Structure 1
Amino acid sequence: MRLILASQSPRRREILRKFFDSFDIVPSAVSEESTAENPVEHAIEVAKRKALDVYTRYGGVVIGADTIVVLDNMILGKPRNKKEAKEMLRSLSGKIHKVITGYCIVREGEEITGYEITEVKFRELKDEEIEWYVSTGEPLDKAGAYGIQGKGGILIEWIKGDYYNVVGFPIKIILELIDLGFKLS
């Protein structure tokens, strides 16, 4: 059974590789825009479109995922530039936000969808810390302008929930794959 990750995220690839030896990577070209009315529906809708896009072209067992950062019911996507990254980090400073990953696994035309929510509390950040972090370049390709697995970990006061979800690939996906018969490496 061919396992395919419908993502170009190096973080998702890294996490999946911790548990499974063999899988292919086929990024989806679908838009991450959504008309969903709430963040959970948004994340699931985008993940489903990614998985179905790749499944219709390659078959196999395809995993699609979409991770979003939500503050006060507003989705913080990937910053377009350093200024936007600084604004996002200032808005997260001292606050609790949610990281939501929607996922979809397509196998033999059937879909398994789900999501994971993790709460994250940022420390109160000083302007110098924000300037330093943005200067590393790390926030520019990450939802919410930070990566907990990298230098951005220093910004975090605590998390409640699945750490891997904050990185972008919740353990729930691994458990679903085990249930489908995939063996851990």
Structure 2
Amino acid sequence: MLHPILSELSLTRIVLASGSPRRREILNSTGLTFDVIPSKFDENLDKSQFESPVDYVKETARRKTDEVRERLSISGKASSLIIGADTVVALDGKIMEKPTSKSDATSMLTNLSGKTHSVYTGVVLSKVLQNGTLKQVIFHEKTDVKFGNLPTEVIKSYVDTGEPMDKAGGYGIQAIGGTLVEGICGDYYNVVGFPLHHFCVEMLKLYDNKGGTQN
């Protein structure tokens, strides 16, 4: 989908402000050439200060992106385009963190069993325009995920694999955790960690001098 602007993008230094291997793999599929510089932003924003998971995830993505841009600017290695993202899992509007222990992971998955939860990703495109000014496009994607009814032994066996421990919500849809999912409504790649189609749409707008959407 980005092929009409790939030649222009090949002349642009692009930075992915995330250390997520899943985001890197998804972005690689577009044909883009980019550097990976993980953000050092400490993700400690007070969730109670945000009206919704959408507001939280977009602000976290913005802070991640800004941290990388400021660090590159200080080092004299500024980038023309920085891509930042953050993904959260929410059940009934409450954000679920990464589990802190096996018992915590078990509790999370038990709560998700038989229910539909939402995965939100906030994305920031931070671009330096030809006149030297900075333009930021901030958007989000939501995907609803329905878990099957999970027997206790299934949850325990999955937790024992260790896979849930570094995943928001305690599962990874792209791996063993996909077997727990009965169905999804929305972008699969968003659940993995990066809304691929929406990203391409916003990039085409941004590089056609139409700007992007704020939604």
* C-alpha separation in 2, matches of 1:55 and 1:103: 15
Tell me the equivalent position of 1:16.
27
Secondary structure of residue in 1 paired with 2:83: strand
RMSD: 1.4
Q: Distance in 2 between matches of 1:6 and 1:87?
A: 31
Match of 1:159, as an amino acid?
Answer: I
8 Å CA contact retained: 1:36, 1:45: no
Higher relative contact order (CA 8 A, sep 6+): 1
The runs of 5 or more residues in structure 1 that have no matched partner are none
Task: Please show how residues 79-118 of structure 1 align to structure 2 within 5 Å.
Answer: 79-108=99-128, 109-118=134-143
- The one-letter code sitting in structure 1 at the alignment partner of 2:147 is F
Q: SS state of the match for residue 29, structure 2? A: helix
Once residues 8 and 174 of structure 1 are traced to their aligned partners in structure 2, the CA distance between those partners, rounded to angstroms, is 20
Distance 2:174 2:153 in 1: 21
Q: Which deviates the most, 92-101 or 131-140?
A: 131-140
Instruction: State TM-score, norm by structure 1.
Output: 0.94
| Structure 2: gaps of 5 or more residues | 1-11, 73-77, 129-133, 209-215
Q: Give the match's secondary structure for 1:19.
A: coil
Question: In the TM superposition, what is the alpha-carbon distance from 1:179 to its structure 2 partner?
Answer: 3.5
Matched residues in 2 for 1:174 and 1:79: separation? 32
User: Cα offset for 1:181?
Assistant: 4.0
Following TM superposition, by how much is the alpha carbon of 1:82 offset from its aligned partner in structure 2, in angstroms? 1.2
| Percent of aligned pairs with the same amino acid | 48
TM-score, normalised relative to structure 2 = 0.81
| Aligned twin of 1:47 | 61
1:77 to 92, 97, 102: 97
Distance 1:33 1:174 in 2: 29
The runs of 4+ residues in structure 1 deviating greater than 3 Å are 178-182
Q: Do residues 142 (structure 1) and 167 (structure 2) align?
A: yes
Which residue of the other structure, out of 170, 175, 179, is the alignment partner of 2:201? 175
Letter in 1 for 2:52: N
Deviates more, 1:41-50 or 1:25-34: 25-34
Q: Which has the larger radius of gyration?
A: 2
